Amino acid sequence: MKIWHGKCHCGDVSFSFQAEGITDGLRCNCSICKRKGALMSSFVVPIEDISIDVVNDVLSVYQFDNGVAKHYFCKHCGIYPFHETMRAPGNYRFNLGCIDEVDAFSLPFEVFDGASL
Ligand SMILES: [Zn+2]
């Protein structure tokens, strides 16, 4: 296991978690993900295993429809760093573009059909 560190663009939201190597990603075609366009982690991590640091109270959350999924974003720079999933509440996926060690443009990915949920 390795500790991965990520942050939003301005750095006011940072996070870290443990995972094996990040070798692929996930995209989703639901109404919000298609707008964000981010490559997400293909795995989820339970909230208790994630370290999240926020300064200046910039972490905000957006919810819609059934309100189960929580789409977090930085109020300062607008970046989406992670979200709590709808299918497995309490578990989070990450925006791989926020992790400098990961080249999100070189990873293979699957497309999840979130639009059909
Ligand atoms: Zn920010």
Q: What residues flank ion ligand 1 with Cβ within 5 A?
A: 8, 10, 12, 74, 76-77
Tokens 């573009």 locate to: 97
Give how far Cα 34 sits from Cα of 1, 19, 53, 73, Å: 31, 26, 27, 16
Backbone angles phi, psi at 40, to 5 degrees: -100, 160
pLDDT at 8: 98
pLDDT at 7: 98
CA distance 23 to 89: 24
2-116 topology per CATH: 2.170.150
Distance 7 CA to ligand 1 centre (A): 8
Q: What stretches in the chain show pLDDT beneath 70?
A: none
